[in-house]
């Protein structure tokens, strides 16, 4: 669907790969935030993805993307989030980048869809856990890459139902 835009930031390609799979499943446009324009954020449905770098930092290319996002009127926009990280090596900052995106959009978006259970993950702290659940799809291609495809399929089904 052309009215769904997947916008992602990715340093080594893992988030890009997940973004492409999500976009393909939904028939959505897929845009690297590094080359995103203000107009890319003007879509009825935004699916935003980021990995986490440093200790709990948003993926680098989101630095300019977040400014564009900040200037976007989200009052009629449905938003879903996905994040990639490493729950073992960065157990105290797992998916913090997704949490940062959530903090940016949650107060302004018409609706947030795609929250998921944190059960079965091994992290000890995450900014992406809000009220006991992940604020979006939680992926870990470092330790559980074999689970990624099934998690994406399940999540795409979930958000499709929540948006219906």
Which residues would be at the binding site for ligand FMN (CB under 6 A)? 10-15, 51-56, 59, 84-86, 90, 93-96, 141-142
Least distance CB 56 / ligand FMN (angstroms): 5
CB closer to ligand FMN out of 55 and 164: 55
CB closer to ligand FMN out of 83 and 114: 83
CB closer to ligand FMN out of 59 and 116: 59
Least distance CB 35 / ligand FMN (angstroms): 15
If DSSP states are collapsed to H, E and C, what string results for the chain? CCCEEEEEECCCCHHHHHHHHHHHHHCCEEEEHHHCCHHHHCCCEEEEEEEEECCCEECCCHHHHHHHHHHCCCCCCEEEEEEECCCCCCCCCCCHHHHHHHHHHCCCCCEEECCEECCCCCCCCCCCEECCEECCEEECCCCCHHHHHHHHHHHHHHHHHHHC
Least distance CB 10 / ligand FMN (angstroms): 3
Least distance CB 112 / ligand FMN (angstroms): 20
CB closer to ligand FMN out of 77 and 93: 93
Using Cβ positions, the residue closest to ligand FMN within the complex turns out to be 85
């Amino acid at each position: 669907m052309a009215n769904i835009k997947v916008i992602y930031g990715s340093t080594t390609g893992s988030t890009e790969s997940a973004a492409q799979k999500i976009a393909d499943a939904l028939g959505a446009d897929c845009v690297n935030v590094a080359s995103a324009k203000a107009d890319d954020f003007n879509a009825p449905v935004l699916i935003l993805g980021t990995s986490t770098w440093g200790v709990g930092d948003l993926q680098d290319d989101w630095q300019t993307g977040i400014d564009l996002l900040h200037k976007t009127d989200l009052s009629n926009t449905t938003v879903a989030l996905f994040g990639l990280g490493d729950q073992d090596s960065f157990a105290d900052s797992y998916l913090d980048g997704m949490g940062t995106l959530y903090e940016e959009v949650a107060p302004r978006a018409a609706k947030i869809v795609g929250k998921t259970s944190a059960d079965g993950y091994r992290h000890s702290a995450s900014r992406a856990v809000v009220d006991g659940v992940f604020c979006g799809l939680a992926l870990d291609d470092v330790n559980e890459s074999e689970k990624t495809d099934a998690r994406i399929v399940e999540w795409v089904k979930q958000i499709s139902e929540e948006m219906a």
